[in-house]
Chain A
Amino acid sequence: MSAFVSELLVPFGYDYMLKAMWVSALVGTVCAFLSCYLMLKGWSLMGDALGHSIVPGVAAAYIIGAPFAAGAFFAGILAALSMTFVKQHTRLREDAVIGLVFTTLFALGLLMASIWPTSVSIQTIVLGNILAISDEDAFQVVLIAGISLAVMVFIWKDLMVTFFDESQARSIGLNTRLLRIVFFTLLSACTVAALQTVGACLVIAMVVTPGATAYLLTDRFGRLIAIAVTLGAVTSFVGAYLSFFLDGATGGVIVTLQALIFLAAFYFAPKHGILAARRRRRAPSEARA
């Protein structure tokens, strides 16, 4: 018994594991915060597109030895501008434009990695590698996530009014344009942080799933944020912990956990779950009988 417990405590004995768990939890927290807005506004796939689009920036930064965050930020801006430009000047649907731009940028990153394979590992970028993250990279991630979280705590109410009742926001004198820009800057920044944790392919889950799960559990925005943030932090921490026993795939474990919790909420949520809906449907007919 005690051998089993000490086995479970092994991950806490390694510095790299402690670092991975805390960094993941921080990133999970701030991504979950953003997810509340993204999933209600129907911007989920923006998260996916950003996650893939910043890959060439990160690859370029590693090749020339610059901080990865700078490269990612540059690529993110480029992606956003080209999507807007192509959208404005063609009759293509938005989803096609997004698909076109992010895959092109991703292909560029892949090509760069295949030509300079020594300085950049595409697998690390695509799948994340928080267990082996260097101290400098971890520092950048913590800095980005920490600042974003602080800003979000400060402006979450203003953002809520801006996104869900714009005329009200203007009438109380909020600068809605500035708030939007701040939000999307935070989103890009958090995508960069999430890329280091779970990798480009799974960024979308971090910025969508916790919010959607919380949405099945509550009708009030304040609680929605509280639930989502808790879910994001706990799944990321536990996911990083469990990945120790799997020898890797941290991102995979975190996101699998998040998806399972979403499914559980989908079935068992007290008000919006499938079972509750079935019970409600049965109850009136019984009453009539």
Chain B
Amino acid sequence: MSTDTGSGRSLSLGSPMRWIEDLSDAQFAYLLLAPGLIVFGVVAFWPLFRTFTMSLHADVLYGPERLGAFVGLQNYVELLTGQRNAALPRPFLDLSEPLTSAVTVTIIFTVVSVFFETLLGFGQALVLDQDFTGRRWARVAIILPWAVPIVIQGMIFYLLFQPTVGFLVEPLHQLGLISATPQASSFDSLLIVIVADVWKTSAFMALIILAGLQSIDRSLYDVADVSGASKFERFRTITLPLVLPSVLVAMLFRTIGAMRVYGLIDTVSSCSTVPSLSCLVVQSFSASRYASAATVAFVTAGLIAIVVSVYIIKFADVDGGGGF
């Protein structure tokens, strides 16, 4: 009865109001979300769109203009075929020198760091999922690196690997793991940057995976116990499949972060020694090659999009299309 009264009242209102009243719940929800979505859309897509339009122009090095004539996709063609390498601080992609070309360095960094972060993060999460005295302190200890500001962490690792300052160079050099001047070598520096990243972000992985572990229904383990499953079987048949979606989400976030790594490289090493894709963007930008910078930035965004879609497809498989 009350609904009748309601619709009767709405007749006396103006038509936009009546239109709102007539919406279904789902439609009304979208209506309320619309302003937020528009803002997000503008914030997220406008820069991407601007970057793309900038990348369609020529670089201009003289005069007050920042962008030159419209050249279509020429920047992309030159970048991908290697003709633009001369104007970049390090080659975009040069398979003959994988340790100093941006795409390969970025991929190596991403794959190695995300692999070890997942492994360590998973291990940490399994430990934290147990009940033991002092668990709270163990949590603090594990999460602490995540709280260290990137510049300070960068300084720590930079100094650790300065010969005559850091204590690590000499023993690691004696062991034959790194050279006497690690920050002058691209291989050693990449290694150091990866170690620094793993040190910092394993905690992030641990947190997300821990959340997944804690949402597992404990009674499943009771069932496993009753059916006499070994510890490994418990892990393989219950823990792993149920926690996998969380692991994938954590890996997805870390992969996106790793593919646009810049700050850590800039503080621990240098963009010249360990050139990531973002390094190329920043360096071309400061050399006033705005169009080149935009091109590399857009290609980087594209690469990230490809990797993300791989994860999303994989995630759909695991989760039966649940989305996140």
Q: Bound pair: A and B? A: no
Interface residues of A (CB under 8 A from B): none
Interface residues of B (CB under 8 A from A): none
